[in-house]
Chains A and B, each alone.
Chain A
Amino acid sequence: MYTGKVMEHFTNPRNVGEIENADGVGEVGNMKCGDIMRIYIKVNDQDVIEDVKFRTFGCGAAIATSSVVTEMVKGKNLDEALEITNKKVAEELGGLPENKMHCSNLAADALHKAIEDLKSKRNQK
């Protein structure tokens, strides 16, 4: 039911972990649905995402989308990062089963939340 690329990311997920003193942290999902994704970002002074990590509780699709979104966003600036959508994440994985498109395909949302978090922290300064 999953593509080879989904299974590859599930088996060898990229950028697992946390970033201490991250510039932005975004969390989406809830335990009722069974998926909770958290993404940490670190940007340099040119607003380029230098480091990104994730932690995810969830199914194969949740883990693979989290992993691939970190790969897609690394080295991108914030504007480019905001152009990444859940749909693009799924495409990058060669597609997801239909029933996973809405419940487990939230990694881009987590990324966007991390960017929002970063911006709101800046506004407070």
Chain B
Amino acid sequence: MKKTYLDHGATTQVNPDVLEVMLPFLGEFYGNPSSIHSFGRETKKALEEAREKVAAGIGAEPREIVFTSGGTESDNIAIRGVARALQKKGNHLITSAVEHHAVLDACLALKKEGYELTVLPVDEYGMVSAKDVEAAITDKTILISIMMANNEVGTVMPVAEIGKLARERGITFHTDAVQAIGLLPLDVNDLSCDLLSLSAHKFYGPKGVGILYVRKGAKLDVFNFGGAQERRMRPGTENVPGIIGMAKAVEVVVADREKRAARISSLRDKLIQGLLKIEDTKLNGHPEQRLPGNVNVSVKYVEGESMILSLDLKGIAASSGSACTSGSLDPSHVLIAMGLDHQLAHGSLRMTLGTDNTEEEIDYVLEVMPEIVARLRSMSSVYTGSKKE
């Protein structure tokens, strides 16, 4: 059976060019970059070249790049680090209700430790308002963390505006840009951010490696202790093959971003329009301010996991915000924050497109979806029949 991968928001396939540059560092070049002998010097040189590439890709300086194990670690180092470093200045943090759990739960943990936390609401499209951010700022605010684009519904946040607000007031601004790189223009100076998190496997790089951009002068306390790697912000021997691969991935996705984003957007729009032709469906997320690859619809009267299983039987990989697939008893916190009722939240279907998707694949999805929905509705205890009948 032909397989169709529409879960690029979960992870992506490693780009062949990325794999190629990694392989020597899993073989011949195995030195520890901290060693002073020739083996170490070889990998150290490659590591620093990778840092330069990453920095160039996001408008940063090489010394502002900290290599981490991924988005979750980057978010935690940033949020906990700032909160601790600036606790003499204030104790108030601002984030939003639709952040990734790596941000939201890190903030909630700090709240338990005694910090004041404002979790901003979002509108029906999952959008955070810069005005709400401004209104929430107090003289005790030390950190604002708002994601660049939402991972579930694809809503693109006004982060440049929020960054400017924070900058004018001398408040540290962190953004989780894990879903955005390679799809949206991303320059740390345009965003006025002090900290920014990235994860290689979301942009055709390997798993287990990420980036924390730390603007020169930003203050962070550290929680892990060990060697002097990554300016002590992330001690431990570097994941050299991963970092080399990630730097190549940054180079690749930034170079052809506009062309790729335009192509993916047109597939996305076709998929959205096709899915919305199914009766009693609803688009989740913003109709325009939306990640190029994100499709998220709620299908009334059916539950998300049963759609995912049905699609999987047809070779199509997708995801859902239903409780069954969120790994907890509750449906997606993002959809609930947007005001969806439980049925629509459980009935959500996310398809995230990437470089490898084709128009034929979209046609195939649109061919099988109506049958899948009709079958599940015919079994559903809450389905009351088609309005057309």
Residues of A within 8 A of B (CB): 2, 7, 10-11, 13, 16, 27, 31-38, 54-63, 99-100, 103-104
Contacts and interface: CB of A to CB of B under 8 A. Distances in A.
Contacts, number: 70
29 contacts: A2-B309, A10-B309, A11-B313, A16-B378, A16-B379, A31-B342, A31-B382, A32-B342, A34-B323, A34-B331, A35-B303, A36-B382, A38-B381, A54-B379, A55-B379, A55-B380, A56-B380, A57-B301, A57-B302, A57-B343, A57-B381, A57-B383, A59-B303, A59-B305, A60-B305, A60-B324, A61-B324, A99-B327, A104-B324
Given A11-B313, A31-B343, A103-B329, A59 B380 contact: no
B299 to A, nearest CB: 11
A37 B381 CA distance: 6
B150 interface: no
A34 B309 contact: no
B132 to A, nearest CB: 28
Contacts of B378: 16
B229 interface: no
Given A34-B331, A58-B306, A103 B323 contact: yes
A113 to B, nearest CB: 13
A104 B383 CA distance: 19
Nearest to B341: A31
Shortest 3 CB-CB distances between A and B: which pairs? A59-B305, A34-B346, A59-B324
A55 B385 CA distance: 13
A34 B381 contact: no
Interface in B356-389: 378-383
A16 B331 CA distance: 26
Contacts of B303: 34-35, 57-59, 62
A103 to B, nearest CB: 6
A44 to B, nearest CB: 26
A62 B309 CA distance: 13
User: Could you say which of B323, B343, B379 has the most chain A C-beta atoms within 10 Å of its C-beta?
Assistant: B379
Contacts of A27: 381
A60 B342 contact: no
Given A57-B301, A57-B303, A59-B303, A34 B382 contact: no
Interface string B300-319: 01111110010001000000
Contacts of A61: 324
B12 to A, nearest CB: 22
B235 to A, nearest CB: 35
B322 interface: yes
Contacts of A55: 379-381, 383
A33 B382 contact: no
A108 to B, nearest CB: 16
B349 to A, nearest CB: 13
Contacts of B342: 31-32, 34
B341 to A, nearest CB: 8
A32 B203 CA distance: 35
A36 B379 contact: no
Contacts of B381: 27, 36-38, 55-57
User: Could you say which of B303, B329, B331, B378 has the most chain A C-beta atoms within 10 Å of its C-beta?
Assistant: B303
A100 B306 CA distance: 13
Contact of B379 (A2, A7, A34, A63): A63
Contacts of A60: 305-306, 309, 324
B154 to A, nearest CB: 23
Contacts of A99: 327
Nearest to A39: B381
Contacts of B346: 31, 34
Nearest to A99: B327
A62 B302 CA distance: 12
Given A32-B342, A34-B303, A57 B382 contact: yes
B301 A34 contact: no
B161 to A, nearest CB: 36
Given A31-B382, A55-B379, A100-B324, 14 more contacts: A33-B329, A34-B303, A34-B323, A34-B331, A34-B342, A35-B303, A55-B381, A55-B383, A58-B303, A59-B305, A59-B306, A59-B309, A60-B306, A62-B303
Contacts of B329: 33, 103
B8 to A, nearest CB: 22
Contacts of A38: 381
Nearest to A100: B324
Contacts of B306: 10, 58-60, 62-63
B233 to A, nearest CB: 36
A115 to B, nearest CB: 18
Contacts of A34: 303, 322-324, 331, 342, 346
